Amino acid sequence: MLCSPRTVASLIYRLMVGTALTVGPAALATSVIGCKDESQPEYWLGKLDDSSWRPRAIKRLEQFLDDALTKANSDYSAPEVQALTNKLVEPLTNTYVDHYDEFDTKTRVTLIRLLSQTRDKRCERALKKAFEEFAKRPKSTKDEQDIKWAARAAGSLKLESLGPSMVEAFDKLRASSMLGGVSYRDVNEAMLAMPQKSWAGTLKTKLGAPIVQPKNAKDKDLIDPYRDQLFWQTTAAEVLGYTGDPSAVEPLMKVMLDPAKADVQATALLALVKLGKPAADAAVKLLRGEDQALAAFHARRLKEVTNEKVDEKEKPHVQTAALIIGTIGRPEGLAPMIDALKRETNDVTKAVIARELSKLPPTNESKQAFKDAFESISIDALIPPGQNALETLTEAAGQFYDSGMVSWLLERAEKTKATGEAKKSLQGAITVAVLKLAKSDQLAAAKKAVDQYGTDLEKKLDRMTEGLVKSCGDRVPCYLTAIEKSENQEQANQFTGIKAAYMIGILGNEQNRDELIERMDSLENAAVRFSATLAIDHLSPKGSASAAQKLKAIINKNLKSADQNKIQSDAPLKQVMYRLDARGG
C-alpha cells in the first residue's frame, strides 16, 4: 500500500502532537482516505502517467484481468469482469495512443495484448493506432506483435471503422518475416471475420501480382517472395469471395487460368462459388468462347510458365470454365454445358465437361449427354492430373444418384473395347459404381458383375451391399440409421456407410437431407462423411439457405474442437455449403 498501517499510525501521532495539533479533523480524514491500496486497480491506473512506473503498472493491470477471468471461468460477461473492464479500457487505450512512441517494445505489446483481451469496443482507437503504425513503418522482428493482437481484437469485435487501417497493414505484412510467421493467421482470420467491399481495390491488386515458385534448392532467393505472395493472394481470394463484389470475378478467373498460381486456385475456386451467379455467367461466357481476352490470357500464361506449345484442340480454357461451372453448381449451367459437350470433339476436354456436368442438378437430358460422351471417349484418354478419363467418369456417374444408370454401366463393362489391364481396371471401377447405385431388384445383376469382373475386394463390398439393401429395401429411415452406426465408421465396414449415403441420395427428399445433416456429427469415418456430403448436395437442387446455415454451424463447431479428422473432412462440406447458397441466390 501507499500508506501502510505503520505509516498511518505515525501520521496520526504527528497530527496529534507538536505542530500537527493545529490540523483539524477534516484534514485528518482527507489525509487517511487519500492512501491508495496497491491491491486495487485504481492504484495502478494512477501510475500510467509516470513513465518510470508505466511498465510495472501495465503488467499488474494485466494480472487483474487474468485473475478476474479465471474466477469467472473466462466468462467476459460476468459482472466482476465487466466492472473491471469498465475501469481499465479507456485509460489503457489513452495510454497506448498518447504514449506509443515512448514505450519499449515489450511493454507496448503487453498493453495492446491486454486491450485485445478485454474484447471491448472502446479500445478501437488503440487497435487503429497499431494497424496504422505498422502500415507506416512495417516491422519484421518477432517481438513487434502489436498487429497480431490488434487483429485478434478486430476479428472478435468486427469494428467496420478499422477496415481501412487493417487492409493497409495486410498490404505490408510479409508472411516470410519472423513477425509474419506469428501474425499472418490472425490477420487472415480477422479479415475473413469482417470483409469489406472497400478493400476490393487492394485485394484485386494483390491477386494481379506474379507468383514464381521455387523449383529447387538453388532458388533460395525465391522462397520468401513465394511465401509472401501465397499469403497475400490466398487471403485476397478468400476475402473477395466473402465481399460479394462482382468486380472480383475477373481477377479470380485469371487466378484459375494461370498455371503459376496452382497453389491459390482451390481458394479462388471456392471464392467464385461464393460469388454465385456473376461467376457462373462469366464461366459460361468463357465456355462458349465469347471471352477472347481470358482465353488469350490462359494460352499466353501456359506458354510462359510451361515453355510448351499449347494444344489448341484441347481448349484448356474450356476445361477450366467447365470446372468453375460444375463447382458452382447452379442449374442454369446445365444448358451451356450440355451444348458444349455435344459440340466437343477432343476426348480430354469432353471428359472434363462430362465430369463437371455430373455435379449439376441432373435432368434426363444431362444424363443422356453424359452417356453419349462416355461412349465416344477412348479408353486411353487421360484428364488432368493424369487420371484415366473413363474410370473418372464411371465414378462421376454415381453423382446422378440414378439407379437407372446400373443397366447402362453393366452394358459399358461388357462392351468395352479395351484389352488387358485397362479393360480389367475399367470393369472393376464399373462394378463398384454399380454396387453404389443398385436397388433391391438390381442386386442379382450386380452380383453377376461382381462374379465376372470383381476381385475379393468387390466380393466383400457385394456382401455388404446385399446385406444392407435386403435389410432396408426402399426405406430411407433405415439407411439413415445405418449410416450413423458406430460399426460402419470402422474402415472394415465403411462401404456399408457409403452405400447407405448413396441410397439416401437416390430415395430421399429435402426432409431426409435435413435428417442426414442432423447425423453428421456421428459420422466419424472420412469416406462415409464425404459420401453423406455429396448426398446432401444432390438433395438440394434448388439450394437451401437453412441447410447451408446448419452446415455452417457444424463446420464452426468442429473448428472450435480438437478433432482434426472432422476439421479436415469438413473441406467438402464447406464447398457444399457455399453451393447451396450459390444455387439459391
Least confident of 102-111, 209-218, 322-331: 209-218
Q: Which long-range contacts (CB under 8 A, 24 or more apart) does 387-394 make?
A: 388/422, 388/425, 388/426, 389/347, 389/348, 389/351, 390/351, 390/426, 391/425, 391/426, 391/429, 392/351, 392/355, 393/351, 393/354, 393/355, 393/358, 394/426, 394/429, 394/430, 394/433
Residues 564-573 have pLDDT tens digits of 888 888 999 9
Position 193 scores a pLDDT of 95
Type of residue numbered 243 = T
Is a pLDDT exceeding 90 seen at residue 9? no
Distance of CA 94 to the CA centre of its chain: 37
Whether 499 contacts 436, CB under 8 Å: yes
Q: Rounded to whole angstroms, how far apart are CA atoms 235 and 190?
A: 11
pLDDT-based confidence at residue 419 (cuts at 50, 70, 90): confident
Residues 450-481 have pLDDT tens digits of 999 999 999 999 999 999 999 999 999 999 99
The residues, any chain, with a CB within 8 Å of residue 120's CB and separated by 6 or more, are 85, 89, 157
Position 36 scores a pLDDT of 67
Instruction: Please indicate whether residue 323 or residue 3 has the higher confidence score (pLDDT).
Output: 323
The residues, any chain, with a CB within 8 Å of residue 194's CB and separated by 6 or more, are 154, 155, 158, 159, 160, 162, 163
DSSP type of residue 486: G
Position 113 scores a pLDDT of 97
Is a pLDDT exceeding 80 seen at residue 349? yes
Query: What's the mean per-residue pLDDT of the chain?
Result: 92
Is a pLDDT exceeding 50 seen at residue 298? yes
Helices (H), 473-509: 476-483, 494-507
Q: Of 522, 540, 523, which is closest to residue 576 (Cα–Cα)?
A: 540
Position 17 scores a pLDDT of 44
pTM exceeds 0.85 for this model? yes
Residues 196-250 have pLDDT tens digits of 999 999 999 999 999 999 988 888 999 999 999 999 999 999 999 999 999 999 9
Q: Of 301, 366, 378, 376, which is closest to residue 332 (Cα–Cα)?
A: 366
Residues 425-438 have pLDDT tens digits of 999 999 999 999 99
Residues 370-409 have pLDDT tens digits of 999 999 999 999 999 899 999 999 999 999 999 999 999 9
Helix (H), strand (E) at residue 62: helix 54-71
Helix (H), strand (E) at residue 225: helix 220-243
Is a pLDDT exceeding 50 seen at residue 44? yes
Residues 62-84 have pLDDT tens digits of 999 999 999 999 999 999 999 99
Whether 576 contacts 551, CB under 8 Å: yes
Is a pLDDT exceeding 90 seen at residue 112? yes
Instruction: Please indicate whether residue 11 or residue 58 has the higher confidence score (pLDDT).
Output: 58
Is a pLDDT exceeding 90 seen at residue 159? yes
